[in-house]
Amino acid sequence: PPVATALRTALEAAGASVVNPDDPSLSAAVSSPARILCCGSAVGLVDHSAIAEVAADWIVPWGPMPVTTRALAVGRRTGTDVLPDFVTTLGPLLAAVATSDDSVESVAERTATTVEGVLGEVLDHEQGPLVGACLRAEAFLSTWQDSLPFGRPIA
């Protein structure tokens, strides 16, 4: 899909080596020798069975909620951390609130700064970066709401 192609182009431009198995199935992708697995084509794509096969150290979502709650727990036990999708996919939201005075470059810079800042705060959280980001978001929401919705934004 176009998003995956754009992601691959951006990663390669940043100097990453992109592993692209000939077999596009989920099982081939999760067992590839990459350190980072980028995924996000479907909610709940990576479940507890799939994450048990993940060879990567990190899962970086490019779409909403690709990792299930149970997979998150299994990943923590097997050494695969999941970055928070509501942070890694922040670009379109920041672009949506851009003004006519904002350039594409300024929106991209603001997005990078915001994402890097939040990830920097939660990357080493004792419960993992995804739960750390959830707790951070809940603390912020609690400053202007009396009660929070039940649950966390995990598939």
Consecutive 10-residue runs of the chain (155 residues): their mean pLDDT?
82 87 73 86 91 92 94 95 96 91 93 96 96 94 91 84
69 neighbors 154 (Cβ within 8 angstroms): yes
pTM: 0.89
pLDDT at 21: 61
pLDDT at 22: 66
Residues 63-96 as b or e (16 or more Cβ within 10 Å = b): bebbbbbebbebbbeeebbbbbbbbbbbbeebee
CA atoms within 13 A on the CB side of 95: 8
pLDDT at 105: 93
**Pick from 65, 30, 70: which is nearest to 50 by CA?**
30
Q: Which strand ranges, in their side-by-side order, compose the sheet holding 36-39? A: 36-39, 58-61, 81-82
